[in-house]
Amino acid sequence: MIETTKAIVLNTIKYGDTSLITTCYTQKSGVKTYMLRGVLKAKKAKIKSAYFQPLMQLNLTANHNNKGNLNSIRDLEVSNFYNAIYTDIKKQTIALFLAEILYYSIREEEQNSTLFQYLESSFLWLDAHDNISNFHLLFLLNLTKYLGFYPETGNVENSYFDLLEGRFTKHHNYNTVTGDNLVQFKKLLGINFDVIHQVNFNAENRQAVLSILVQYYELHLEGFKKPKSLEILKSVFS
Q: What is the pLDDT of residue 44?
A: 67
Same domain, 159 and 181: yes
- Cα(230)–Cα(10) distance, rounded to whole angstroms? 16
C-alpha distances out from residue 81 to 92, 134, 171, 195, 220, Å: 14, 23, 48, 24, 33
Same domain, 67 and 88: no
Same domain, 72 and 89: no
Q: What is the pLDDT of residue 215?
A: 97
Same domain, 113 and 202: yes
Decide which of 81, 104, 138 is a domain's last residue. 81
Same domain, 91 and 179: yes
Same domain, 87 and 67: no
Same domain, 149 and 215: yes
Please state the domain count of the chain: 2
Q: CATH number of the domain that 11 lies in? A: 2.40.50.140
Within the chain, where are the H helices? 89-105, 113-128, 135-147, 179-186, 203-220, 230-236
Same domain, 125 and 72: no
Q: What is the pLDDT of residue 46?
A: 80
Decide which of 49, 81, 113 is a domain's last residue. 81
Same domain, 153 and 91: yes
Per the CB < 8 A criterion, the answer to whether 132 and 94 are in contact is yes
Q: What is the pLDDT of residue 200?
A: 92
Same domain, 74 and 94: no
Local structure of 171: helix, strand or coil: coil
Same domain, 97 and 154: yes
Per the CB < 8 A criterion, the answer to whether 64 and 71 are in contact is yes
**Residuewise pLDDT in 10s, the chain (238 residues):** 899 999 999 999 999 999 999 999 999 999 999 999 988 887 767 888 999 999 999 999 999 987 777 999 999 999 999 999 999 999 999 999 999 999 999 999 999 999 999 999 999 999 999 999 999 999 999 999 999 999 999 899 999 999 999 999 999 998 999 999 999 999 999 999 999 999 999 999 999 999 999 999 999 999 999 999 999 999 998 8
Same domain, 53 and 40: yes
Local structure of 7: helix, strand or coil: strand
- Spatial neighbors of 178 by CB under 8 A, at least 6 apart, are 159, 160, 161, 172
Domain range for 54: 1-81
Q: Burial of 15 by CB count in 10 Å (0-12 exposed, 13-18 middle, 19+ buried)?
A: middle
Q: What is the pLDDT of residue 66?
A: 73
- Cα(219)–Cα(175) distance, rounded to whole angstroms? 9
pTM of the complete model: 0.95
CA torsion sign, 200 to 206 to 209 to 214? positive
Decide which of 46, 81, 116 is a domain's last residue. 81
Q: CATH number of the domain that 178 lies in? A: 1.20.1440.120
- Cα(223)–Cα(236) distance, rounded to whole angstroms? 27
C-alpha distances out from residue 31 to 99, 126, 225, Å: 13, 22, 17
